[in-house]
Amino acid sequence: MTLKEKLITHTETYDHWSKRRRYGPDGANNLNLWVLACMDERLPVDEALGIHVDSPAGGGDAHCFRNAGGIVTDDAIRSAMLTCNFFGTKEIVIVQHTQCGMLSADAKDLEKHFRDKGVDTDNITLDPTLPELKLENGAFAKWIGMMDDVDVTCMKTVEAFRNHPLIPKDTVISGWIWEVETRRLRAPTLDIEKRARTDVTAVQFGVKGKQPTRWE
């Protein structure tokens, strides 16, 4: 291939990349991939998965959604539904991590923080643009989504997406744990030896008792 041919191919490829949302499923990201990850700054999605999402900026390998804990939320479902049904995504990867802040406090104490400030957590607008979206009385602490065990939460997050009616049944879905302490990726596990050098439970953060049950 001549340099001229390479440059023509490069410019045509970039033009498609920059306008890919025009093409729906035919304009999918590079890996037909959606990543759900915790918002924690110590979780490097690119390093953990060996892809280019965050760096270089606009790497293009995947759609990436971050929230506290990398857990199932209504907006995570909304984003996954869109990318899988309309933007050509065929695979979902969930990345949670050790040392997660969602293990570090009792959700009931966090709710009390707001109540002490005069916020009625039984009557709160979650999204001012969608007032129909409401919580049942007593559900605020559950909505926060604190964890007892990050590995268990990762496994249940995978199952929640596999069983959701808005996610195509042929979507490939997997979950992974990034060990902040060792900078290694592993599958979620309950094996004590494999988790020995890491903090994966709320008990290790001094939290007593179980968090409000989010996973029915």
Binding residues for Zn(2+): 38, 40, 97, 100
Kind and range of the H or E run holding 141: helix 140-144
Pick out the residues of the known binding site.
38, 40, 97, 100
- CA distances for 198 relative to 83, 117, 177, 206, angstroms: 33, 35, 11, 15
Closest by CA position to 34, among listed 173, 166, 158: 173
Closest by CA position to 17, among listed 65, 52, 67, 66: 52
Query: 13 exposed, middle or buried (CB, 10 Å; 0-12, 13-18, 19+)?
Result: exposed
Q: Tell me how far apart the alpha carbons of residues 153 and 176 are, in angstroms, rounded to a whole number.
A: 11
Going by their DSSP bridges, the two strands 184-186 and 172-179 should be labelled as: antiparallel
Question: Where do we find the tokens 């023509």?
Answer: 8
Beta carbons within 10 angstroms of residue 31's beta carbon: 19
Q: Tell me how far apart the alpha carbons of residues 91 and 161 are, in angstroms, rounded to a whole number.
A: 11
Q: Tell me how far apart the alpha carbons of residues 201 and 102 are, in angstroms, rounded to a whole number.
A: 10
